């Protein structure tokens, strides 16, 4: 039993393999947080400290007890209006415009299996893999009922949280802030790791000490964004890759979010993950309910590496669609950097011929195949095949490509519209646009109102019409701007952005139902919507529009903290690189791209015979290791953000019998130093053979004494070691 309730003390204790999470209903009926961390036995309520704190008020339930104040006590789901002046998880505006809500315990249920959230992505599990705790809370004045949901995947050290808010009263209320979860940490010093970035440079790692006061990371863009990713790590100040306590907090949501940390004057740290509240005001009429998206927590006492493994395992086995969990992904060639908008059906066919020649599985026809779309100023919304450009019907093109033994995939951007399109001319009111104001253009396009079902239905029907024209096994779902001008012609202002996200999920769900075998790769100008919500529908996401192998070292490193390698779209592109102008060896581009779902993004027709030969080998080698990319444990060995001579990473099979260390030596040195590297996660007693040299080492020797890197010359040289267990 992962979840236990100790009636006498009214304590809930959640135990996973290595962690304990506890909370308690106190004498006043409030739900206080007690502990989250390494596994412990017994009740942790001794950690609660009651003291008379000046200017921290006391709720009526405490009577004359001035030592009882919600302003300083750790809580599970703090609301505004209880005398707690810290960041609240829930802010309710009542019918009389007062902002107040006091949630008290009303009961609970413990269930087998993991809860689902209607209309929202969430961790799923078999009945015997997870348990659910539902705690019922009530505000007795407004009759608001709030269910706190806890999902526990015991073996993976994963605890999920979500909230259902129901109006059982007789008056309309407004949810002004909807927190998914709050986590309070014991007094102490903590660092916060966040993953910030920009278009073409996503998820760079920032580590900052948490100081007094409140600090906020948020996306106001309507999407999870390139700028601030909705995954965070709180860590002991001395935590490293392989030691120290750390907590992961990741939102299963693809819209705007707010993540707050607040250190109070007593050194307690509160974190709250919520839907971005500034453009949110959700009316809840009597009888209605609102489901707050899920947050996934995990704790590791062995540093960031182990924490990442928990997330990777959780996403790979409990978020990614079942049918893709173990399915090897196609090696693909994408037409974008090969041809941009300048292609015909013949170009696609030539790409496919060359793809077949080097062993690529699938050709993706990127942007430019529909409507009037020869550049990025027009055509979005008109999802009709431009047969003139292709020189034939889509069905015929796909057949010809399939005859070559190559699969076919296509790019779409369903949420967008160009003003220069038939769709816009017919339905100008289908876009997000404030009446009387000129909307903000971005990439010269506007955003369709996906909070509206009629709009979604139209786009869905037109996209299905395309997908039904042939054997399409892959779709790249793009979204190339941030949302602005939040105004819907039919929906209430404060609901639009959230309903938009739910609309996108609904669309994706319908697509999956209709095309269960279709592999959808998410994309938003590269990695602008790289979040667990999207991964529920799209098992892989194009990691970045930056295909430069050296920049990718940082992007993929940062992404790997919260997301599995099997989810990161990563391609070999041409040199000089189109984004950075950098020149790197072809092998190096291959090594970096093989830490992800592998593919190419270049004009195969322009490749030299020598490059084709290397590509052929690259693909074979990738196929030899792709099971490790999909299912192995990933270790970040050397950090690209430190001024190191090289960057290294490693995959280890779950049975520890196979491991691959890959990397890039960044700078050549004359009369070079000897650099040792230290593989991890091996069986110390096992003997491992280096496949290239035939030399045999013990796991202990490799992990403790290390192995010298080869002395190479030239910048940006690739590194790869493959070891296989030979005997115990
Ligand atoms: C975005 C994507 C690219 C490409 C273009 C097409 O930028 O990230 O990979 O698909 O759109 O317009």
For residue 21, pLDDT beyond 90:
yes
What is the Cα–Cα distance from 324 to 322, expressed in whole angstroms? 5
Could you tell me what percent of the chain has a pLDDT over 90? 98
Q: Is 0.95 topped by the overall pTM?
A: yes
C-alpha distances in Å from residue 127, one per residue of 120, 266, 284: 20, 42, 32
For residue 728, pLDDT beyond 70:
no
Burial of 226-235, coded b for 16+ CB within 10 Å and e otherwise, reads bbbbbbbbbb
Annotated catalytic residue within 350, 415, 521, 531: 531
- Ligand 1: residue whose CA is nearest its atom 8: 525
- Ligand 1: residue whose CA is nearest its atom 11: 525
pLDDT digits (tens, 9 = 90+) for 523-541: 999 999 999 999 999 999 9
pLDDT of residue 95: 97
- Give 151's pLDDT tier (boundaries 50, 70, 90): very high
Among 223, 523, 538, 571, say which to mutate for ligand 1: greatest number of ligand atoms within 8 Å of CB.
523
**531 noted as active-site residue:** yes
- Give 326's pLDDT tier (boundaries 50, 70, 90): confident
**715 noted as active-site residue:** no
pLDDT digits (tens, 9 = 90+) for 416-459: 999 999 999 999 999 999 999 999 999 999 999 999 999 999 99
CA of 557 to the centre of ligand 1 (A): 22
Enclosing H/E stretch for 621: helix 609-631
The most distant pair of C-alpha atoms in the chain lies apart, rounded to whole Å, by: 85
Residue whose entry in the numeric block shows the structure tokens 């015997």: 128
- Give 508's pLDDT tier (boundaries 50, 70, 90): very high
Pocket around ligand 1 at a 6 A CB cut-off: 336, 366-367, 376, 411, 478, 480, 523, 525-526, 542, 545
Enclosing H/E stretch for 183: strand 173-185
651 C-beta neighbours (distance < 10 Å), count: 25
| 298-317 mean pLDDT | 98
| 343-365 mean pLDDT | 98
Among 335, 411, 477, say which to mutate for ligand 1: greatest number of ligand atoms within 8 Å of CB.
411
Beta carbons of 378 and 445 less than 8 angstroms apart: no
| 12-33 mean pLDDT | 98
Annotated catalytic residue within 129, 288, 611, 690: 611
CA of 364 to the centre of ligand 1 (A): 12
CA of 202 to the centre of ligand 1 (A): 15
Determine the atom of ligand 1 nearest the C-alpha atom of 376. Answer: 12
- Ligand 1: residue whose CA is nearest its atom 2: 525
pLDDT digits (tens, 9 = 90+) for 662-695: 999 999 999 999 999 999 999 999 999 999 999 9
- Ligand 1: residue whose CA is nearest its atom 6: 367
């Amino acid at each position: 039993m992962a979840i236990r309730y100790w009636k006498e003390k009214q304590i809930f204790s959640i135990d996973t393999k290595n962690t304990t999470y506890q909370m308690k209903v106190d004498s006043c009926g409030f739900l206080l947080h007690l502990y989250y961390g390494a596994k412990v036995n017994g009740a942790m309520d001794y950690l609660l400290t009651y003291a008379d704190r000046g200017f921290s008020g006391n709720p009526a339930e405490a009577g004359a007890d001035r030592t009882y104040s919600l302003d300083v006590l750790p809580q599970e789901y703090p609301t505004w209006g209880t005398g707690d002046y810290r960041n609240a998880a829930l802010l309710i505006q009542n019918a009389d415009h007062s902002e107040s809500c006091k949630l008290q315990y009303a009961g609970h249920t413990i269930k087998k299996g993991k809860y689902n959230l209607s209309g929202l992505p969430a961790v799923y599990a078999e009945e015997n893999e997870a348990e659910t705790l539902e705690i019922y809370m009530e505000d007795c004045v407004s009759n608001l009922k709030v269910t706190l949901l806890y999902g526990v995947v015991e073996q993976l050290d994963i605890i999920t949280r979500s909230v259902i808010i129901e109006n059982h009263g007789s008056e309309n209320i407004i949810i002004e802030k909807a927190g998914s979860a709050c986590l309070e940490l014991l007094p102490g010093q903590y660092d916060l790791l966040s993953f910030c970035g920009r278009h073409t440079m996503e998820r760079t790692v920032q580590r900052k000490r948490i100081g007094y006061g409140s600090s906020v990371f948020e996306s106001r863009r309507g999407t999870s964004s390139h700028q601030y990713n909705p995954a965070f790590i709180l860590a002991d100040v001395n935590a490293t890759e392989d030691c120290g306590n750390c907590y992961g907090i990741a939102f299963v949501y693809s819209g705007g979010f707010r993540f707050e940390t607040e250190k109070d004057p007593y050194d307690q740290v509160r974190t709250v993950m919520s839907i971005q509240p500034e453009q949110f005001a959700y009316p809840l009429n009597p009888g209605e309910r609102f489901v707050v998206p899920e947050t996934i927590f995990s704790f590791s006492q062995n540093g960031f590496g182990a924490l990442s493994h928990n997330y990777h395992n959780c996403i790979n086995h409990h978020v990614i669609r079942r049918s893709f969990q173990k399915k090897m992904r196609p090696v693909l060639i994408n037409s974008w950097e090969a041809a941009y908008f300048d292609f015909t059906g013949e170009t696609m066919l030539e790409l496919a011929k060359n793809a077949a020649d080097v062993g690529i599985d699938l050709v993706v026809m990127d942007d430019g195949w529909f409507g009037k779309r020869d550049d990025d100023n027009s055509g979005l919304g008109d999802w009709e095949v431009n047969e003139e450009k292709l020189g034939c019907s889509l069905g015929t093109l796909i057949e010809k490509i399939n005859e070559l033994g190559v699969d076919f995939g296509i790019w779409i951007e369903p949420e967008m519209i160009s003003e220069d399109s038939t769709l816009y001319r017919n339905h100008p009111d289908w876009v997000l646009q404030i009446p009387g104001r000129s909307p903000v253009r971005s990439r010269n396009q506007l955003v369709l109102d996906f909070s509206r079902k009629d709009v979604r239905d139209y786009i869905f029907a037109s996209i299905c019409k395309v997908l039904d024209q042939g054997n399409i096994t892959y779709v790249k779902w793009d979204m190339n701007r941030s949302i602005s001008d939040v105004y819907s012609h039919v929906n209430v202002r404060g609901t639009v952005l959230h309903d938009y996200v739910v609309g996108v999920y609904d669309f994706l769900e319908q697509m999956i139902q209709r095309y269960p075998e279709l592999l959808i790769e998410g994309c938003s100008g590269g990695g602008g919507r790289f979040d667990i919500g999207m991964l529920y529908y799209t098992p892989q996401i194009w990691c970045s529009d930056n295909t430069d192998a050296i920049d990718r070292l940082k992007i993929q490193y940062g992404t790997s903290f919260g997301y599995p390698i099997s989810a990161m779209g990563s391609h070999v592109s041409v040199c000089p690189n189109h984004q950075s102008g950098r020149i790197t060896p072809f092998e190096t581009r291959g090594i970096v791209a093989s830490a992800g779902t592998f593919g190419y993004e270049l004009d195969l027709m322009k490749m030299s015979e020598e490059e084709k030969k290397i590509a052929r080998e690259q693909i074979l080698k990738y196929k030899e290791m792709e099971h490790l990319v999909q299912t192995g444990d990933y270790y970040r060995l050397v950090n690209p953000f430190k001024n190191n001579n090289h960057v290294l990473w490693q995959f280890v099979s779950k049975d520890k019998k196979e491991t691959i260390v890959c990397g890039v030596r960044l700078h050549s040195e004359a009369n070079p130093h000897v650099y040792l590297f230290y593989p991890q996660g091996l069986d110390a007693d096992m003997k491992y053979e280096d496949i290239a040299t035939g030399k045999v080492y013990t796991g202990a020797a490799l992990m403790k004494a290390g192995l010298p890197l080869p002395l190479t010359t030239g910048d940006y040289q690739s590194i790869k070691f493959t070891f296989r267990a030979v005997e115990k």
